[in-house]
Amino acid sequence: MLGFLASLVGCDVAMDQLKPGISTFAEVTKVMGKYSGEWRNADGTTTYEFTRQPEGVVNYMVTIGPDGVLKAIDQALTDKNFARVTAGLTKDEVRRLLGQPAQKMSFDLKKEEAWSYRYQPEPGRQMWFNVSFDLSGKVVSTSRTPADTTA
């Protein structure tokens, strides 16, 4: 976890101040700002989303224990999570997994809505991960496009 936090420092300079098992929720919000989503977990923890979209390339999911202490900080926009976005997932399930998208677009003729997430698969290279939903709000497909083109 600490190595992961160190790798995030380039994106959010003050994040190196946050320590799992030590930092409080108040300290997390002081460093990371206002959260954009909140989910209660079965184990009594709460996961908060801190998005850096649309200009950034990360969405953080921060887990806080019932005692109000930081348990984990995870970057949601990863190949592992993208692989979990499969046909039939709902918009709520995708939001819980990836966080707030950078863009939402409607395609009336296709009867679909697309959510796009800007991410960085490697240093110096940005991509879009796109999720298409049908009218019932279920995933029908995903795709990836270079960030230098329209998502």
What are the tens digits of pLDDT across the range 48-76? 999 999 989 999 999 999 999 999 999 99
Residue ranges of E strands in the chain: 37-40, 46-51, 59-64, 70-75, 103-107, 112-122, 125-133, 139-146
Distance CA 36, CA 128 (A): 20
- Domains of the chain, CATH where assigned: 2-75 (3.30.1450), 79-146 (3.30.1450.10)
CA distances from 76 to 24, 110, 114 (A): 21, 28, 18
The pLDDT of 13-26, averaged and rounded, is 89
pLDDT tier for residue 148 given thresholds of 50, 70 and 90: confident
pLDDT at 15: 80
Read off the pLDDT of residues 85-120 as tens digits, 9 standing for 90 and up. Answer: 999 999 999 999 999 999 999 999 999 999 999 999
